[in-house]
Structure 1
Amino acid sequence: MGLSTREIMDASLDLVGWEDVPADSTIYVPGDGIETALVGIDLESPELRLAASEGYDLALAHHPVGGRARLEFPAVLDRQVTFLTDHGVPEDEAEEAVAELRERTELSAHAANYRHDPSIAELLEQPYMNVHLAPDEVGRRAFVDAAESLDEEATVGDLVERLSTIPELATARTDVEVRVGRTDNAAGEVAIHHAAGTNGGAPVARTYFEHGVDTVIYIHAGGDDPRELREEFGDAKNLVVTGHIASDAIGMNALIDALEERGVDCTPVSGCGIGRES
Structure 2
Amino acid sequence: MGLSTDEIMRVSLDLVGWDDVPADSTVYVSGDDIETALVGIDLESPEIRLAHDLGYDLALAHHPTGMGARLDFPEVLDTQVEFMTAHGVPEDAAEEAVADLRSRMDHGGHSSNYRHDPSVAELLDQPYLNTHLAPDEYGRRVFREVADDLAGDATAGEFVDALATIPELEAAETDVRLRVGDRDNDLGDVAVHHAAGTNGGASVARAYFEHGVDTVLYIHVGAGDTAELREEFADAGKSLVVTGHIASDAVGMNAVVDALEERGVECDTISGCGIGRDD
Per the shorter chain, which TM-score range? over 0.9
User: What is the letter of the counterpart of residue 211 of structure 1?
Assistant: H
Aligned partner of residue 212 in structure 1, secondary structure: coil
User: What is the letter of the counterpart of residue 230 of structure 2?
Assistant: R
Q: Percent identity at matched positions?
A: 71
| TM-score normalised to structure 1 length | 0.99
In structure 2, what is the Cα distance between the partners aligned to 1:148 and 1:53? 46
Q: Does the CA-based 8 Å contact 1:182-1:235 persist in structure 2?
A: no
CA shift for structure 1 position 165:
1.0
Equivalent runs, 1:221-236 vs 2, <5 Å:
221-236=221-236
Aligned partner of residue 194 in structure 1, secondary structure: coil
For 1:277, the equivalent position in structure 2 comes to 278
For 1:220, the equivalent position in structure 2 comes to 220
Equivalent runs, 1:70-219 vs 2, <5 Å:
70-219=70-219
| TM-score normalised to structure 2 length | 0.99
User: Could you list the runs of 5+ residues in structure 2 that have no partner in the other structure?
Assistant: none
For 1:51, the equivalent position in structure 2 comes to 51
User: What is the letter of the counterpart of residue 193 of structure 2?
Assistant: H
User: What is the letter of the counterpart of residue 268 of structure 1?
Assistant: T
Aligned partner of residue 216 in structure 2, secondary structure: strand
For 1:61, the equivalent position in structure 2 comes to 61
CA shift for structure 1 position 235:
3.6
User: What is the letter of the counterpart of residue 129 of structure 2?
Assistant: M
For 1:263, the equivalent position in structure 2 comes to 264
The Cα offsets for residues 113-144 of structure 1, whole Å up to 9 and x where unpaired, read as: 10000000000110000000000000000000
The structure-2 alpha-carbon separation of the partners of 1:170 and 1:235, relative to structure 1 and needing over 3 Å to count, comes to farther
| Corresponding position: 1:31 with 2:23 | no
In structure 2, what is the Cα distance between the partners aligned to 1:29 and 1:234? 48
For 2:247, the equivalent position in structure 1 comes to 246
In structure 2, what is the Cα distance between the partners aligned to 1:166 and 1:48? 30
RMSD after superposition? 0.5
The Cα offsets for residues 48-75 of structure 1, whole Å up to 9 and x where unpaired, read as: 1100000000000000000110010100
CA shift for structure 1 position 18:
0.2
CA shift for structure 1 position 205:
0.2
Deviant stretches of 4+, over 6 Å: none
CA shift for structure 1 position 223:
1.4
Q: How many residues align?
A: 278
